[in-house]
């Protein structure tokens, strides 16, 4: 029997608001432990939450980007459970009236498009962090992260493979980055994914029993964990066993999922409306305002790049991977550069420089106008492509204009035929064996001679002119 | 020497401004009074002798400088130990918080301090405000100054007793289902529960968040208005405070109730109302009639369901509000806990008294899987019906008049059955459920020489109407309540 | 007849993280049973068409601007903790799968 996997994802995204969701503490939880805390995020007696408007704005932006309906009327609820990282022993979250619901995302995966339904995206607060390094059989708790705004995005069970899950996560992250609502840093936990997985015989409609895989530190880890879990479930069924509904952890070292047994009462969350907060009404005007501020999203932008700039699909895909790169590309073209040439420089040398320096491409790194100017200088024969690489590196490092760099470093291309002829004559005089070979019909030697001229001019010679003049001088000798 | 401790806040304010005395003299006078009688009454959990006198010294210095010292300058008062204070401990009369020191002041406490009030200390209550007799305090018994064998009521028994025993001019209290009005009634004080949203709850340790409201317990209606002026108004730190203009409540005390329509809900005046209470209430009605108020019967048909609704909602909210007391960040931690589970379980089980545990259990039950719709959701729906009852009644009348408590103060240990105790809140809880303002004021003594109270309920945010009515009655009732027989 | 069984009491106590001895369990079966039986009087009302009153006031959108304000000093934050070191609140070791 052939099986297919049925996967739903739950992603927790930390939003990049400056202050926490219910108190004015900074959201920088890398500060020294327990310094960005106050009575509210410590759950002290008598403290009351007051909601951060920025959290609602950003959540609506995500909801719209995921084609969700935005609730005109929603409310916050208390989710009750005990854990030392939970300051009040309840989490303020949303239960039956999430801010965003019934959306979808078209996920491109392996050449096909999978429409993944978005069940809901709801607002909640992040928890504190437990450190397990205290020793003595004890743990320490740091509440800096307690109350950081968190958006939980839940999909329908529409995903059918680990690869699709990976592509969903990657493309979701891309959208979140475009919206600039989260730094999406997985290592730091600002993006946390959980998967609900079941398998069923291909072609059947009822769902199998699902397991939930948690605590995976990277997208690729998530993909591996899902892959393992699908195979494990199929094997259990093939062996005549049954799947137990449970939460499973991921052991990255051993590459396996393992059961995390929980008490029956662990899921009785006793949700009820949060009496300390009043309902949230996002009216049409508010929604429209967010809609109007919305940037063009990666998918439509990619298609527009192909159409407007006539660049290949692959280039458009790469250039729209991040908003900063796509913006940079468009600014470079707007400054007069040829689109394909701009694309090549950005995707090639500039990307390499960025990843080497571990910097995001953006105007603060390099001016798009400077890149456009550099491309124009190549086209005009003022610098060679080879010198351009050097110029670009310097532009990247110092932010100086290409013209300034070329002047300061004396990199102007020698297109003066008299000067070039002088160098050429010298090279020919110094390399008589090669000249003889050329005369004897070995035309390939010309490459060597061009190289010598370039070397003599420290690469500044216009290569095309060198070629022509060299042939001229050689013909004089024969 | 004048017995300043017998005076009201407005009398003390006036005496200070006219230079008749000093804040230090007044404060010392109160501290001496507490020293003399509180051993019998047991109202105070903490007495802040030193800081009270320091505050008084500062008020005197500012008065001498001709500075504007605020409407309560030099007025010594007590705080229910449910409000977070930078001074002293904030215990909620619970073992759980016996040593807790709050890092901030409650908004209402801060506003009182800014208005020049002098804090004499913190007074007893039922643990976490859960109770109607103050017998649930983990620390001490508070006695009714009118009869030391009787309870002062609850949960603000310490507040009521401290006011009735002249151990403060007024007390800052809280009311979730009658915790200001019922003890005020049992101790012969004026107790005002403002409209939900009128006073910031920031820094009030939460019992039931959708019902809790802070208000004053005073010696007369004028003081209630004076204190409300100071503590009320929008607080950006409490999302449930109303952003409404705040009237000067003192100006509402015109003495005029001519043409005022007062509703008498027939569901409150049934056979079950004790005849002696009924007689005292009827005398009060006659006083107000004599002043030109018009009385009419109104109906609050869902009254009989209020206790059930109330105890579902308040226990549910309490079960979440009290979950934070787990021995991790503050409060009692059981020394024997070997793992995190034991830390929670042992700390809570030892830190909380039986009534608190009972309410946590009830609240957890009504929210738990399978019971939410039958109890919690149902209760919220009936809460709507109760609110609608009041909306309809207030189409006919301006103010509603009822008894405050079905009985006078009862003896210690008289009510051991939880349900029986819960049912004693019958006249006060609807006001909280409907988020309305209510005031209790004394309307005479029973033949046992114990105070009786009447309650006035107003439209949302119309504290002015109940204060005006209460004031008019107080000025015209034609008898003096006298003082609690304690010295 | 009580609606509350001993099993109910034990389950609810585990949700509430309370430890009850035999006697307390028995007592609560009766006390909770009495109260819950009393609460069942609400069943007499037809509330199908009634909106629940979820909040005490009819206010919406009470929101704050995203501005960073003052936090507590670490000393003040840790001051009331039954156990802490220079940086952290200290609790007995937490196992990952305690997490809910
Ligand atoms: Mg969540
Ligand atoms: Zn905070």
User: From C72, which residue of chain B is nearest by alpha-carbon distance?
Assistant: B103
For the record, the structure tokens of B14 come out as: 């006036």
- Ligand 2 centre from A41 Cα, in Å? 4
Looking at the complex, report in whole angstroms how far the Cα of residue B363 sits from the nearest Cα belonging to chain A: 10
Gap from CA of A35 to ligand 2 centroid (Å): 9
pLDDT band at C99 (very low <50, low <70, confident <90, very high): very low
Which of A45, A85, A128, A147 is the mutation pick for testing B, counting most B CBs within 10 A?
Answer: A45
CB-nearest partner of C56 from B100, B240, B366: B240
Could you tell me if C32 lies within 8 Å of chain B, comparing CB atoms?
Answer: yes
List the 37-76 stretch of C: residues with Cβ below 8 A of B: 38-39, 41-43, 45, 47, 50-57, 59, 62, 64, 72, 76
Cβ–Cβ under 8 Å, residues B74 and B64: no
**Smallest Cα distance from B5 to chain A, Å:** 31
Contact assignment for A49 to B206 by CB distance below 8 Å: no
CA distance C48 to chain A (A): 18
pLDDT digits (tens, 9 = 90+) for A234-283: 999 999 999 999 899 998 889 999 988 766 556 899 999 999 999 999 99
pLDDT at C100 (0 to 100): 38
Distance from CA of B300 to the nearest CA of C (A): 15
Mean pLDDT of A63-85: 96
Q: List, in sequence order, the alpha helices (H) in B49-207.
A: 49-64, 107-114, 157-164, 181-187
Question: Residue B427's closest CA among B201, B178, B199?
Answer: B178
The number of folded domains in chain C is 1
CB interface of A with B, residues 30-69, below 8 Å = 39, 42-51
In a domain, B204, yes or no: yes
Sequence-distant (≥ 6) Cβ neighbours of residue A403 within 8 angstroms = A373, A377
The CATH code of the domain that includes B234 is 3.90.1300.10
Residue C23 lies in a domain: yes
Active site residues of B: 80, 155, 179
Q: Which residue range is the domain that position C15 belongs to?
A: 6-43
Query: Which residues fall within 8 angstroms of residue C51, CB to CB, at 6 or more apart?
Result: B381, B384
pLDDT score at C79: 97
Residue C24 CB contacts under 8 Å (≥ 6 apart), including other chains: none
C29 domain-assigned: yes
Instruction: Please name every residue paired with A77 in a beta bridge, in sequence order, or none if there are none.
Output: A93, A273
Within an 8 Å CB–CB cutoff, is residue C11 touching chain A? yes
pLDDT digits (tens, 9 = 90+) for A394-453: 899 888 899 888 888 777 777 677 778 888 888 888 988 888 888 888 888 888 888 888
d(CA B358, CA B189): 30
**Contacts of residue B196 in chain C, CB cutoff 8 Å?**
56-57
> Does B281 map to a domain?
no
Q: Which residues pair with A259 in a beta bridge?
A: A248
Domain ranges (residues) in chain A = 3-286, 296-409, 417-477
Q: Which two tokens stand for residue A405?
A: 């760099």
Residues 6+ apart with CB under 8 A from A400: A370, A394, A408
Q: Do A48 and B237 touch (CB under 8 A)?
A: yes
What is the average pLDDT across A313-322? 93
Output the CA A143–ligand 2 centroid distance in Å. 9
Q: Does C75 touch chain A (CB under 8 A)?
A: no
- Single out the residue of B366, B182, A86, B266 nearest to residue C38, CA to CA: B366
Q: Is residue B297 part of a domain?
A: no
Domain limits for position B174: 4-254
ipTM: 0.96
Of the candidates A314, A352, A311, which has an alpha carbon nearest to the alpha carbon of residue A332? A311
Q: Specify the pLDDT at position C1.
A: 53
| CATH number for the domain whose boundaries are A417-477 | 1.10.10.410
> What percent of chain A shows pLDDT beyond 70?
97
Give the closest ligand to the alpha carbon of residue C70: 2
A126 CA to middle of ligand 1, Å? 8
- What is the tens place of the pLDDT at every residue in A24-43? 999 997 899 999 999 999 99
Residue A459 — very low, low, confident or very high, per pLDDT cuts 50/70/90? Answer: confident
C-alpha C65/C-alpha C50 separation (Å) is 35
d(CA A142, CA A128): 6
- Do residues B331 and B100 make contact, with C-beta atoms less than 8 angstroms apart? yes
- Chain B's closest residue to C65, CA to CA, is B236
- For residue B155, being part of any structural domain is answered with yes
For chain B, which ranges sit under pLDDT 70?
none
- Tell me how far apart the alpha carbons of residues A258 and C96 are, in angstroms, rounded to a whole number: 12
The answer to whether the pTM exceeds 0.90 is yes
Contact residues on chain A for C12, CB-CB shorter than 8 A = none
Q: How far apart are CA B219 and CA C83, in angstroms?
A: 44
Closest CA to B223 of B277, B269, B267, B169: B169
**Interface probe, candidates C88, C92, C93, chain A, greatest A C-beta count within 10 A:** C88
pLDDT at A456 over 80: yes
A293/C83 Cα distance (integer angstroms):
48
C92 belongs to a structural domain? no
Cα end-to-end span (Å), chain B: 16
Beta carbons of B31 and B55 less than 8 angstroms apart: no
List, as own/partner pairs, every contact residues A325-334 make where C-beta atoms lie below 8 angstroms and the sequence separation is at least 24, other chains included: A325/A351, A325/A361, A326/A298, A326/A301, A327/A362, A328/A361, A328/A362, A328/A363, A328/A366, A328/A368, A329/A305, A331/A363, A331/A368, A331/A369, A332/A368, A332/A369, A332/A371, A332/A372, A332/A375, A333/A309, A333/A372, A334/A368
Is C76 within a domain? no
CA distance A180 to A29: 19
Residue C98 confidence (pLDDT) above 50: no
B308 to chain A, closest Cα gap in Å: 18
Chain A residue numbers with beta carbons less than 8 Å from the beta carbon of C56 are: 275
Of A24, A52, A140, the CB nearest to C87: A140
Chain C positions in Cβ-Cβ contact with residue A261 (cut-off 8 Å): 97
C32, B385: Cβ pair inside 8 Å? no
* CB nearest C35 (choices: B239, B339, B418): B418
Check CB contact of C31 with chain B, cutoff 8 Å: yes
C-alpha B183/C-alpha B145 separation (Å) is: 12
Q: B321 CA distance to ligand 1 centroid (A)?
A: 20
| Residue A91 clears pLDDT 80, i.e. is over it | yes
Least confident interval from A62-71, A212-221, B115-124, B385-394: A212-221
User: Residue B199 carries which DSSP code?
Assistant: B
Whether A419 contacts chain B with CB within 8 A: no
Question: B380, C53: Cβ pair inside 8 Å?
Answer: yes
Contact C56 B418 (CB under 8 A): no
pLDDT tens, position by position, B216-247: 999 999 999 999 999 999 999 999 999 999 99
Alpha-carbon gap, residue A225 to A215, rounded angstroms: 10
Task: Tell me which residue in A26, A32, A215 faces C68 most closely, judged by beta carbons.
Answer: A26
């Amino acid at each position: 029997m052939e099986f297919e996997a049925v996967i739903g994802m739950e992603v927790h995204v930390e939003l990049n608001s400056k202050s926490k969701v219910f108190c004015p503490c900074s959201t920088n939880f890398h500060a020294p432990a327990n310094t960005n805390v106050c009575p509210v995020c410590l759950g002290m007696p008598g403290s009351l939450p007051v909601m951060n408007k920025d959290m609602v704005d950003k959540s609506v932006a995500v909801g719209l980007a995921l084609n969700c309906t935005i609730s005109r009327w929603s409310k916050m609820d208390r989710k009750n459970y005990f854990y030392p990282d939970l300051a009040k022993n309840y989490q303020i979250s949303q239960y039956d009236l999430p801010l965003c619901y019934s959306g979808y995302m078209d996920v491109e995966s392996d050449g096909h498009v999978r429409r993944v339904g978005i069940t809901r995206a709801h607002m909640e607060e992040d928890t504190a962090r437990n450190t397990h390094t205290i020793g003595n059989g004890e743990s320490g708790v740091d509440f800096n992260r307690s109350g950081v705004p968190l958006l939980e995005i839940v999909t329908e069970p529409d995903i059918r493979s680990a690869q699709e899950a990976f592509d969903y996560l990657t493309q979701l992250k891309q959208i979140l980055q475009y919206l600039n609502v989260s730094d999406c840093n997985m290592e730091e936990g600002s993006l946390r994914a959980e998967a609900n997985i079941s398998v069923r015989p291909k072609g059947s409609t009822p769902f199998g029993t699902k397991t939930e895989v948690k605590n995976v530190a990277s997208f690729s880890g998530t993909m591996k964990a899902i892959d393992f879990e699908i195979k494990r479930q199929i094997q259990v069924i093939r062996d005549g066993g049954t799947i137990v509904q449970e939460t499973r952890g991921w052991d990255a070292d051993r590459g396996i999922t393992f059961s995390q047994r929980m008490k029956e009462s662990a899921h009785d969350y006793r949700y009820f409306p949060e009496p300390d907060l009043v309902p949230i009404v996002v009216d049409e005007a508010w929604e429209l305002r967010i809609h109007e501020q919305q940037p063009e999203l990666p998918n439509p932008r990619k298609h527009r790049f192909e159409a407007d700039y006539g660049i290949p699909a692959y280039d458009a895909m790469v250039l729209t991977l991040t908003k900063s790169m796509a913006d940079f590309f468009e600014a470079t073209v707007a400054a007069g550069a040829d689109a394909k040439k701009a694309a090549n420089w950005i995707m090639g040398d500039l990307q390499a420089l960025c990843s080497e320096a571990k910097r995001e491409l953006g105007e603060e790194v390099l001016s798009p106008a400077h890149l456009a100017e550099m491309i124009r200088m190549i086209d005009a024969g003022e610098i060679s492509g080879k010198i351009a690489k050097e110029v670009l590196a310097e532009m990247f490092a110092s932010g100086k204009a290409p013209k300034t760099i070329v002047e300061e470093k004396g990199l102007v291309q020698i297109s003066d035929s008299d000067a070039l002829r002088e160098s050429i004559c010298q090279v020919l005089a110094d390399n008589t064996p090669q000249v003889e070979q050329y005369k004897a019909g070995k035309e390939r030697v010309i490459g060597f001679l061009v190289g010598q001229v370039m070397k003599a001019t420290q690469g500044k010679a216009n290569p095309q002119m060198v070629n022509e003049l060299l042939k001229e001088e050689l013909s004089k000798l024969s | 020497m004048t017995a300043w401790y017998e005076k009201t806040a407005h009398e003390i304010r006036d005496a200070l401004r006219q230079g008749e005395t000093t804040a230090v003299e007044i404060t010392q006078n109160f501290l001496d009074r507490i020293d003399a009688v509180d051993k019998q009454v047991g109202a105070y959990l903490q007495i802040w002798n030193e800081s009270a006198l320091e505050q008084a010294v500062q008020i005197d210095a500012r008065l001498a400088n001709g500075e504007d010292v605020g409407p309560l300058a030099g007025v010594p008062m007590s705080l229910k130990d449910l409000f977070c204070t930078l001074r002293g401990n904030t215990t909620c009369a619970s073992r759980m918080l016996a040593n807790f020191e709050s890092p901030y002041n409650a908004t209402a406490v801060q506003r009182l301090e800014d208005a020049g009030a002098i804090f004499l200390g913190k007074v007893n209550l039922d643990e976490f405000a859960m109770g109607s007799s103050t017998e649930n305090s983990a620390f001490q018994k508070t006695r009714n100054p009118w009869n030391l064998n009787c309870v002062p009521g609850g949960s603000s028994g310490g507040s009521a007793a401290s006011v009735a025993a002249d151990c403060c001019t007024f007390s800052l209290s809280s009311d979730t289902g009658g915790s200001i009005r019922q003890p005020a009634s049992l101790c012969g004080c004026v107790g005002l529960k403002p409209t939900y949203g009128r006073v910031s709850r920031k820094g009030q340790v939460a019992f039931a968040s959708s019902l809790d409201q802070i208000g004053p317990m005073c010696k007369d209606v004028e003081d209630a208005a004076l204190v409300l002026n100071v503590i009320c108004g929008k607080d950006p730190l409490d999302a449930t405070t109303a952003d409404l203009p705040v009237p000067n409540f003192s100006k509402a005390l015109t003495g005029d109730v001519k043409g005022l329509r007062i509703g008498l809900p027939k569901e409150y005046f049934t056979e079950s109302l004790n005849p002696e209470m009924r007689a005292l209430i009827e005398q009060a009605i006659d006083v107000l009639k004599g002043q030109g108020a018009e009385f009419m019967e109104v109906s609050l048909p869902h009254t009989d369901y209020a206790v059930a609704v109330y105890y579902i909602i308040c226990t549910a909210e309490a079960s979440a509000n009290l979950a934070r007391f787990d021995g991790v960040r503050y409060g009692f931690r059981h020394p024997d806990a070997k793992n995190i589970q034991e830390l929670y379980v042992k700390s809570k089980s030892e830190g909380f008294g039986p009534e608190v545990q009972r309410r946590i259990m009830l609240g957890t039950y009504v929210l738990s899987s399978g019971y939410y719709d039958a109890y919690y959701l149902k209760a919220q729906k009936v809460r709507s019906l109760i609110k609608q009852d009041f909306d309809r009644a207030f189409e006919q009348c301006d103010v509603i008049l009822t008894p405050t408590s079905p009985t006078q103060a009862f003896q210690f240990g008289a009510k051991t059955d939880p349900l029986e105790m819960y049912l004693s809140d019958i006249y006060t809880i609807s006001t909280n459920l409907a988020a309305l303002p209510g005031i209790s004021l004394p309307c005479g003594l029973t033949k046992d020489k114990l105070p009786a109270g009447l309650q006035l309920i107003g439209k949302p945010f119309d504290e002015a109407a109940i204060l005006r009515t209460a004031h008019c009655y107080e000025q015209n009732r034609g008898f003096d309540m006298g003082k609690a027989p304690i010295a | 007849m009580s609606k509350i069984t001993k099993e109910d009491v034990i389950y609810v106590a585990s949700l509430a993280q309370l430890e009850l001895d035999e006697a307390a369990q028995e007592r609560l079966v009766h006390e909770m049973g009495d109260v819950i039986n009393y609460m069942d009087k609400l069943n007499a009302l037809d509330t199908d068409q009634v909106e629940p009153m979820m909040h005490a006031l009819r206010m919406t959108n009470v929101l704050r601007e995203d501005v960073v304000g003052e936090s507590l000093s670490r000393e003040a934050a840790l001051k009331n903790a039954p156990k802490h070191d220079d940086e952290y609140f200290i609790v007995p070791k937490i196992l990952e799968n305690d997490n809910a």
